[in-house]
């Protein structure tokens, strides 16, 4: 199986790099190369792998600190009665306050949740890659089938047309023999019936050839021009059925993708169990408080503070 993959991959590269644009006939490797590059389903699967890969970076963010900044400012205005020391109408008072700060939080231990989340995300990526390989194999198989279907149905249409020409001559000959008295009306009717059946068969064969060409265009992404028959690949196949089953069991991408999904699910379970373990985090921050009174007050000025601490959380009961 590895040698088969290497042979096909080398053939794809050769077809991509060396096939001339003006070739008189398309080869099956050229068609597979076009399908590999142009097929919309395959391109969508590749984009899906890139999206899944972002999950690893998201999971790793659990190891990184969280930094937040805050700022607020407040302005208030009122009137003050200096004689009775109560709000009144003798004087105005305005107070401006503000606070600015930066806080950093770092998780030190989260019950191995981040570790298992990263492992689950990486297993998801591996499963996505294997799913992409499975899609590639299916698309290339369908492209090869469509290639051979076009060749087959075109040849069937040609042979059916030749058969119609032959039966047309047979019907003309039967009519000529009848006119000279060497045949019967039954012979003429039978020849005409066979010709009419051949006309219907030719219409069906041409319709099938057009349908196969449409399928080819959908999978390969290009019109089927002149197609060259492919060489047999029997020598690249496993020697017997048991070998084929053994190779498929250990290397088939659909099976490998499912195994990676099982691993991802197991890591997700471990991550959920981590929520039952103690959680430890550290934090540090600085802030500045500002106050200004109008008229001036002894409280006016700026106060700078800093803090650092750690928090240990132990789950006891969560229902």
Q: What is the CATH number for 15?
A: 1.20.1600.10
Query: How far, in Å, are 2, 47, 165, 258 from residue 132 at the CA level?
Result: 18, 10, 49, 13
SS3 197: helix
% the chain with pLDDT above 90: 68
319 assigned to some structural domain: no
**Is the distance from CB of 316 to CB of 151 less than 8 angstroms?**
no
Mean pLDDT of 71-95: 70
pLDDT at 268: 96
Q: How is residue 10 written in tokens?
A: 């080398």
Model confidence at 85, pLDDT cuts 50, 70, 90, reads low
**Helix (H) or strand (E) run with residue 72 in it:** strand 66-81
273 assigned to some structural domain: yes
Of 17-21, 146-150, 267-271, the least confident: 17-21
Mean pLDDT of 4-32: 56
318 assigned to some structural domain: no
Which residues are registered as beta bridge partners of 306?
286
pLDDT at 79: 67
Instruction: Specify the pTM.
Output: 0.72
The residue among 4 and 319 whose pLDDT is bigger is 319
176 assigned to some structural domain: yes
**Of 96, 160, 99, nearest to 297 (Cα)?**
96
Q: How is residue 122 written in tokens?
A: 């990486």
Of 57-71, 78-92, 244-258, 265-279, the least confident: 78-92
Of 17-31, 146-160, 238-252, 295-309, the least confident: 17-31
SS3 83: coil
The residue among 117 and 23 whose pLDDT is bigger is 117
- What whole-number distance in Å separates Cα of residue 157 and Cα of residue 198? 11
Q: Which domain holds residue 251?
A: 2-313
CB atoms within 10 A of CB 6: 10
13 assigned to some structural domain: yes
Mean pLDDT of 174-181: 88
Model confidence at 20, pLDDT cuts 50, 70, 90, reads very low
90 assigned to some structural domain: yes
% the chain with pLDDT above 70: 87
- What whole-number distance in Å separates Cα of residue 31 and Cα of residue 227? 9
What is the phi/psi pair of residue 31, to 5°?
-65, -40
- Looking at the predicted structure, is the pLDDT value of residue 137 above 50? yes
103 assigned to some structural domain: yes
161 assigned to some structural domain: yes
Q: What angle do helix axes 241-251 and 253-274 make, rounded to 10 degrees?
A: 30
CA torsion through residues 217, 13, 6, 128, sign: negative
Count of domains forming the chain: 1
DSSP H helical ranges for the chain: 2-18, 28-38, 40-60, 113-179, 185-220, 241-251, 253-274
The residue among 300 and 114 whose pLDDT is bigger is 114
């Amino acid at each position: 199986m590895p040698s088969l993959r290497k042979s096909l991959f080398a053939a794809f590269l050769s077809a991509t790099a060396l096939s001339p644009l003006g070739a008189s006939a398309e080869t099956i490797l050229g068609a597979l190369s076009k399908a590999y590059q142009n097929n919309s389903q395959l391109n969508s699967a590749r984009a899906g792998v890139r999206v899944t890969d972002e999950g690893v970076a998201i999971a790793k963010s659990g190891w990184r600190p969280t930094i937040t900044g805050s700022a607020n400012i407040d302005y208030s205005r009122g009137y003050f009665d200096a004689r009775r020391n109560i709000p009144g109408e003798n004087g105005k008072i305005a107070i401006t306050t503000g606070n600015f700060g930066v806080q950093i939080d770092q998780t030190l231990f989260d019950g191995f949740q981040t570790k298992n989340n990263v492992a689950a995300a990486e297993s998801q990526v591996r499963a996505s890659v294997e799913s992409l390989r499975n899609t590639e194999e299916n698309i290339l198989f369908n492209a090869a089938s469509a290639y051979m279907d076009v060749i087959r149905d075109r040849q069937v249409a040609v042979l059916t047309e030749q058969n119609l020409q032959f039966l047309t001559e047979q019907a003309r000959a039967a009519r000529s023999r009848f006119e000279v008295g060497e045949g019967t009306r039954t012979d003429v009717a039978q020849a005409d019936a066979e010709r009419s059946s051949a006309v219907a068969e030719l219409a069906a064969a041409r319709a099938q050839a057009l349908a196969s060409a449409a399928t080819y265009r959908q999978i390969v992404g290009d019109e089927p021009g002149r197609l060259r028959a492919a060489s047999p690949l029997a020598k690249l196949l496993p020697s017997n059925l048991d070998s084929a089953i053994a190779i498929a069991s250990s290397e088939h991408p659909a099976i490998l993708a499912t195994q990676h999904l099982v691993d991802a699910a197991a890591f997700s379970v471990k991550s959920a169990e981590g929520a039952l373990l103690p959680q430890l985090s550290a934090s540090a921050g600085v802030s500045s408080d500002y106050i200004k009174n109008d008229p001036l007050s002894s409280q006016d000025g700026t106060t700078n503070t800093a803090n650092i601490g750690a928090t240990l959380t132990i789950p006891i009961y969560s229902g």
